[in-house]
Amino acid sequence: MLHPRQIEAIVTVARAGSVHAAARLLHIPQPALSRLIAASEKSLGVALFERSRAGTRPTEAGERVLKQGAFALQALQGIAESARESLPVVRLGCIPRVMHVLIPHLLAQLSNDDAGFRLHVSVGTSNELAGDLDAARLDFVIARRAAPGVVAAPDLQAEKLYSERTAVVCGRSNKDVQAGAGSLRIRDLVALPWVLPKRGFHSRDLLDGIVAAHGLPPIVPVIESNSFESSLSMVAWTRFLTLAPEFAARRFEQLRLVRLIAMRPTLGSSPIMLEYRRIQQQHPAFPAFRASVLRATRQIHAGA
């Protein structure tokens, strides 16, 4: 078995990209860190890193050890935290639209009930959150599935919570898009000015994929914004088009600020998933946290 100090050494070298940089982060001499890595490799019977002038990279075996090591290290840190804290901490990652749909219901529960855990929420793209989950920087993620090409952990668990549509939106007085014009083709919209999320957000990648599939030049947005509410506010008073979760677009439509555009082909709907590594089922707050998420999901369906 590896000593916790060895696990910490392996994880830090992998994240820092070199033994020298990792030694600085751990505040130990480089030879001492090299001895920790060598002892770990001897104990496991495999080479964990490939060393070159470009830096230090995990081998295939090292990648497997690293993933388990990151979780083991986090578990050890959790033991120390549990000695100081009366409640276990749940580190949850969410995409921005989940913060507006599900998280308010979840937080309302936690403020009214004795949840039995403390919640720490961070926001990012689906791909960013998938990376943080894989590196054990998060315990659970509520997001869309990571984009194709992003390798998911083999022990990843995913539960569908609800589905959500993405809408194309313009200002109510936008004269570039005739009101009541019916369904518009994507080729009729690409030349118009857009406010779009940055690449890496699911809705942007989905739109870019549709544009490319139709052999059209890529849309170059005038503005890139990571806040769909800011984007909706901008298109309400300009000629811009944008993408937004349908629930938010409908809310602005009710205020008579925007119109939803029927586009061919549609952006469709996509599932919002609760994702976690199988080992997280042993998290002390897992049953209470999962039950709270499912109750919040039922409240979304009830209000739909």
Burial of 84 (0-12, 13-18, 19+ CB in 10 A): exposed
Taking only Cα atoms into account, the Rg of the chain, rounded to an integer number of angstroms, comes to 23
Position 208 scores a pLDDT of 95
At residue 146 the predicted structure's pLDDT band, cuts being 50, 70 and 90, is low
Give the pLDDT of residue 303: 66
Matching fold, domains 4-61 and 84-163+270-303: no
User: Residue 245 is which amino acid?
Assistant: P
First-to-final CA distance of the chain: 52
Alpha carbons within 13 angstroms on the beta-carbon side of residue 174 total: 29
Report the 3 state secondary structure along the chain: CCCHHHHHHHHHHHHHCCHHHHHHHHCCCHHHHHHHHHHHHHHHCCCCEEEECCEEEECHHHHHHHHHHHHHHHHHHHHHHHHHCCCCEEEEEECHHHHHHCHHHHHHHHHHCCCCCEEEEEECCHHHHHHHHHCCCCCEEEECCCCCCCCCCCCEEEEEEEEEEEEEEEECCCCCCCCCCCCEEHHHCCCCCEEECCECEHHHHHHHHHHHHCCCCCCCCCEECCCHHHHHHHHHCCCCEEEEEHHHHHHHHHCCCEEEECEECCCCEEEEEEEEEHHHHHCCCHHHHHHHHHHHHHHHHHHC
CATH class of 84-163+270-303: alpha beta
Does 217 sit behind a cis peptide bond, omega within 30 degrees of 0 on the bond before it? no
pLDDT in tens, 215-245: 999 999 999 988 888 999 999 999 999 999 9
* Spatial distance between the Cα atoms of 166 and 280, rounded to a whole number of angstroms: 31
Q: Domain 164-269: give its CATH architecture.
A: 3-Layer(aba) Sandwich (3.40)
- Rounded to whole angstroms, how far apart are CA atoms 118 and 269? 32
Domain topology for 4-61: Arc Repressor Mutant, subunit A (1.10.10)
Domain boundaries, the chain: 4-61, 84-163+270-303, 164-269
* 66-117 tens-digit pLDDT: 877 877 777 777 666 666 667 888 999 999 889 988 999 999 888 765 778 8
Average pLDDT over residues 129-142: 88
pTM beyond 0.85, yes or no: no
Q: Is the pLDDT of residue 248 over 60?
A: yes
